[in-house]
C-alpha cells in the first residue's frame, strides 16, 4: 500500500505534531496534519468550527480530511486526537503504518496546559483529559501497529524509536 510513510495517532498532548516534525526532518519528508488541512480549507480555527457548527460537523470535515491525506500524502501524517473515533477513518487506516503515541494523564495535562484552542478541554482540563484517555486508549491501540510511550521522553527519543521499528 502506498500512502503516508507513517501515520501518528494519539490524544492531545501526546506530541503528535512535534514528533511528526522530527520524523519529517530525519527522513526528509513532508509533514502534514489533518487539523491544519481543515483550518486551511475552512479559513477558521478548530475552536471556531466547534463553536459555530458543532463537533459533529467538525468530525465530518475530519473524516474527509483524513481520507484525502491518506490518499495523496506520502510523508509523515499526524491526525487530530479524535479522528480515530469514526469507524470510516478506522477502516481507512487499515494497512497503513499507524503509530499510537501514548501519554499518561499527568503528562498530558501538563502538555496541554490550559487547553487553549482545544474546545473539548473547556471546563475542568484534568477531568476532560482523563475521560478522553479512558475512552480512547483502546481505540488507538486497535488501529496501531506500534505503540510508543512518550512520558519522560523527548520528541527525538520517540522519533528514534519509531524509525528503528518501522
Ligand atoms: C481533538 C483533538 C484536536 C482537534 C480537536 C479535537 C480531539 O487535535 O482535532 O480539538 O477530539 O481529541 P490535537 O490532538 O492535534 O490537539
pLDDT tens over the chain, length 166 residues: 689 999 999 999 999 999 999 999 999 999 999 999 999 999 999 999 999 999 999 999 999 999 999 999 999 999 999 999 999 999 999 999 999 999 999 999 889 887 677 888 777 888 989 999 999 999 999 999 999 999 999 999 999 999 999 9
Ligand 1 centroid to 17 CA: how many Å? 11
**85 Cβ closer than 6 Å to some ligand 1 atom:** no
For each of the domains in the chain, give its residue range(s) and CATH number, in order of start. Answer: 6-165 (3.40.50.300)
Atom of ligand 1 nearest to the CA of 79: 15
Classify the complex by whether its ipTM is higher than 0.90, answering yes or no: yes
Residue 158 CA, ligand 1 centroid: distance in Å? 20
Q: Using only C-alpha atoms, what is the Rg of the chain?
A: 15
Amino acid at each position: 500500500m502506498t500512502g503516508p510513510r507513517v501515520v501518528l495517532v494519539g490524544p492531545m498532548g501526546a506530541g503528535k505534531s512535534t514528533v511528526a516534525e522530527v520524523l519529517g526532518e530525519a527522513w526528509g519528508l513532508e509533514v502534514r496534519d489533518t487539523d491544519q488541512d481543515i483550518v486551511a480549507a475552512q479559513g477558521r480555527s478548530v475552536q471556531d468550527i466547534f463553536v459555530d457548527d458543532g463537533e459533529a460537523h467538525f468530525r465530518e470535515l475530519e473524516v474527509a480530511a483524513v481520507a484525502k491525506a491518506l490518499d495523496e500524502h506520502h510523508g509523515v501524517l499526524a491526525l487530530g486526537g479524535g479522528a480515530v473515533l469514526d469507524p470510516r477513518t478506522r477502516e481507512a487506516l487499515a494497512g497503513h503504518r499507524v503509530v499510537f503515541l501514548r501519554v499518561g494523564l499527568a503528562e498530558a495535562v501538563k502538555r496541554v496546559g490550559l487547553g487553549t484552542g482545544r474546545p473539548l478541554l473547556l471546563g475542568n482540563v484534568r477531568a476532560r483529559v482523563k475521560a478522553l484517555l479512558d475512552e480512547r486508549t483502546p481505540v488507538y491501540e486497535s488501529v496501531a501497529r506500534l505503540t510508543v510511550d512518550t512520558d519522560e521522553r523527548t520528541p527525538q527519543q520517540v522519533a528514534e524509536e519509531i524509525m528503528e521499528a518501522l
